[in-house]
């Protein structure tokens, strides 16, 4: 399971779809769901009128992607995955055109392995479902209870829901919608997904050949950086992991955080290594996604950033196919959020917690009609470097994103280049 699927095995756990891959220096033991409060006005007294909301969020707590080898096994029993009744809604998973759900090779790959206790890797747990339900309730307070922005019942014309084609993100989207609308719906909720080859909600190493070349090269480099290599050798020895086992700090962190979040036992050695595991995991990923290596970030999130701007432009110009659309929900991964945060210049050097959300709001000045964008992360407003204020004039925001944004045509052109890496 060390790749996106089949042919991408060389990239190992770099695969975004395979989940947890960056870092935090949070000192709390369990990784908790994101909390926070966005304090900006949404009422009529504000000089800004809210026009559109786009929310990119991480799935909730889950089973690990792979257990640390040669250490005590945690018991991942099926009762940890039972859905709470209040997260139930009527929904259907489709492709982007509303047709049948595409094949899901990444999800299928999880079924090739069974964790101790009987469940599969990478599955959303009861706790994870509750985390997304709570995020939905927070969004409800902001966009329904504190304002009249959204109708209190789900209406497909108002709310667009898209997810990566992986069960944990699909279920996370469902739970968020259940919390947002308190299970009230006027129609079945469509959750749209993409073919694996063309997915843009995570860095697609399988679908973009050049990204695989760039990140594969830097991934291999990261494991040989002197400090990382030395610490990895030390922790393997202390944990009693055989030298031939292929482990890294990302794998160790993933299993460690999953265990602690669900109250399952961890090897005692990790008590003293926790902060170092966090630090080294992020050192590896920062090496791969280093913003100065522009093309890696472009190919990782360029099409996604372009889509966010397109949605804003269509809303302002009145060219949207759904003129009453108010919210776009994108259910994805921590490894989606990290490159987005890096591209925006607001990565806080902490691993995105379960249910973390990156929210992009479009506002218009009520008097001048000038457009502004406000970004928040885990409920806290962000001042984007390159923006003159938290309410960022749209042209400034577009200029910030222009470094990394890629149109679908440019993305495909870059991905299919046959020459070697061009990054410095």
Per-residue pLDDT tens digits for 165-205:
999 999 999 999 999 999 999 999 999 999 999 999 999 99
From CA 310, how far away is CA 406, in angstroms rounded?
Answer: 11
Structure confidence at residue 269 (pLDDT): 93
Q: What percent of the chain is predicted at pLDDT more than 90?
A: 77
Domain 6-215+289-415 has CATH 3.40.50.1240: yes
From CA 170, how far away is CA 17, in angstroms rounded?
Answer: 13
Structure confidence at residue 36 (pLDDT): 54
Number of helices (H), then strands (E), belonging to the chain: the values are 11, 9
User: Where would I find the H helices in 291-362?
Assistant: 294-317, 334-344
Q: Residue 375 is encoded by which pair of tokens?
A: 């970004």
161: left (phi over 0), alpha (psi -120 to 50) or beta: beta
From CA 163, how far away is CA 193, in angstroms rounded?
Answer: 5
Residues tagged active-site:
59, 334
Contact criterion met (CB below 8 Å) for 366 and 305: no
What would the mean pLDDT of 22-47 be, rounded to a whole number? 53
Structure confidence at residue 290 (pLDDT): 83
Q: Does pLDDT of 108 surpass 80?
A: yes
pTM of the model as a whole: 0.91
Three-class secondary structure of residue 15 per DSSP: coil
Cβ-proximal residues to 332 (8 Å cutoff; 6+ apart), any chain: 56, 57, 58, 59, 163, 164, 169, 201, 202
Burial class (CB in 10 A: 0-12, 13-18, 19+), 28: exposed
CA–CA distances in Å: residue 182 to residues 151, 159, 176, 328? 12, 15, 9, 18
Q: Residue 287 is encoded by which pair of tokens?
A: 């090496």
Q: How many CB atoms lie within 10 A of CB 188?
A: 12
Beta bridge partners of 376: 359, 381
């Amino acid at each position: 399971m060390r790749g996106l699927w089949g042919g991408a095995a060389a990239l190992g756990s770099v695969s975004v779809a395979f989940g947890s891959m960056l870092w935090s220096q949070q000192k709390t033991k369990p990784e908790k769901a994101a909390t926070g409060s966005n304090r900006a006005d949404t009422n009529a007294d504000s000089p800004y009128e809210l026009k559109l909301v786009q929310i990119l969020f991480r799935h909730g707590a889950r089973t690990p992607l792979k257990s640390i080898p040669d250490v005590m096994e945690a018991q991942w029993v099926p009762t940890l995955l039972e859905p709470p009744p209040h997260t139930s809604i009527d929904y259907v998973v489709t492709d982007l055109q509303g047709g049948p759900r595409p094949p899901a090779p990444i999800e299928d790959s999880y079924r090739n392995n069974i964790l101790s206790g009987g469940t599969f890797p990478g599955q959303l747990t009861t706790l994870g479902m509750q985390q997304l339900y709570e995020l939905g309730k927070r969004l409800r307070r902001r966009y329904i209870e504190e304002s009249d922005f959204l109708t209190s019942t789900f209406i497909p014309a108002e709310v667009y829901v898209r997810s990566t084609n992986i069960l944990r993100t699909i279920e996370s989207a469902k739970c968020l919608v259940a919390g947002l609308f308190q299970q009230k719906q006027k129609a079945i909720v469509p959750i749209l997904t993409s073919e694996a080859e063309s997915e843009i909600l995570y860095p697609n190493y399988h679908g973009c050949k050049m990204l695989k070349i760039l990140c594969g090269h830097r991934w291999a480099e990261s494991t040989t950086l002197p400090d990382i290599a030395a610490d990895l050798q030390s922790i393997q020895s202390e944990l009693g992991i055989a030298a031939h086992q292929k482990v890294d700090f990302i794998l160790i962190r993933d299993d460690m955080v999953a265990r602690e979040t669900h109250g399952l036992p961890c090897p005692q050695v990790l008590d003293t290594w926790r902060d170092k595991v966090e630090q080294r995991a992020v050192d590896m990923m920062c090496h791969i996604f280093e913003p100065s290596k522009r093309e890696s970030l472009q190919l990782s999130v360029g099409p996604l950033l372009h889509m966010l701007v397109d949605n804003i432009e269509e809303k302002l110009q009145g060219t949207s196919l759904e003129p009453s659309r108010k919210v776009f929900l994108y259910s994805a991964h921590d490894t989606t959020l990290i490159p987005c945060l890096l591209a925006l210049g607001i990565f806080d050097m902490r691993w995105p917690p379960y249910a973390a959300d990156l929210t992009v709001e479009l506002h218009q000045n009520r008097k001048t009609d000038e457009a502004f964008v406000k970004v928040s992360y885990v409920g806290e407003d962000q001042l984007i470097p390159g923006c003159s204020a938290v309410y960022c004039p749209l042209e400034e925001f577009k200029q910030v994103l222009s470094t990394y944004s890629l149109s679908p045509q440019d993305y495909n052109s870059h991905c299919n280049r046959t020459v070697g890496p061009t990054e410095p």
